[in-house]
């Protein structure tokens, strides 16, 4: 798997194969190409047959709600590509910092105060 940084991994799914891995709570799965069926089980493999399932289309994201085994399958007879984003200790803080670095300063607290006083 190639990854832009240590918290992400790209995965290729063929139409006749599935990929299984252990994921912690908060892991995000993004479909970059195709439809991906996600089956979440509890921390043991017995529940994988009655797991929570989600189908995501290209551009959609799914966040794992509880840690455990996850199975990914391409749906629709084609191939799919997914991006797995591992949770970080301060994931929301890092997302906010990236967003603010892009130049979106309209939500800066100083700007909000000036808008309220006007």
- pLDDT tens digits, one per residue of 4-23: 456 889 999 998 788 999 88
pTM score:
0.66
- Report H helices in the chain: 91-101, 109-117
User: Which value, in Å, is the radius of gyration of the alpha carbons in the chain?
Assistant: 18
What pLDDT score was predicted for residue 2?
A: 42
Distance CA 109, CA 40 (A): 39
40-93 per-position pLDDT tens digit: 886 565 555 566 889 999 999 999 888 888 999 999 888 999 999 888 666 566
pLDDT exceeds 90 at position 26: no
């Amino acid at each position: 798997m190639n990854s832009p940084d240590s918290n992400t991994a790209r995965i290729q799914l063929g139409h006749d194969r599935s990929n299984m891995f252990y994921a912690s709570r908060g892991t995000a799965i993004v479909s970059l190409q195709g439809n991906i069926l996600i089956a979440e089980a509890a921390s043991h493999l017995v529940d994988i047959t009655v797991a929570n399932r989600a189908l995501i289309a290209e551009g959609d994201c799914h966040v794992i709600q509880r840690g455990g085994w996850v199975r990914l399958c391409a749906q629709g007879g084609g191939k799919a590509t997914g991006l797995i984003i591992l949770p970080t200790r301060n994931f929301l803080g890092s997302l906010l910092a990236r967003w603010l670095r892009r130049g979106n300063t309209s939500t800066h607290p100083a700007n909000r105060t000036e808008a309220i006083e006007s």
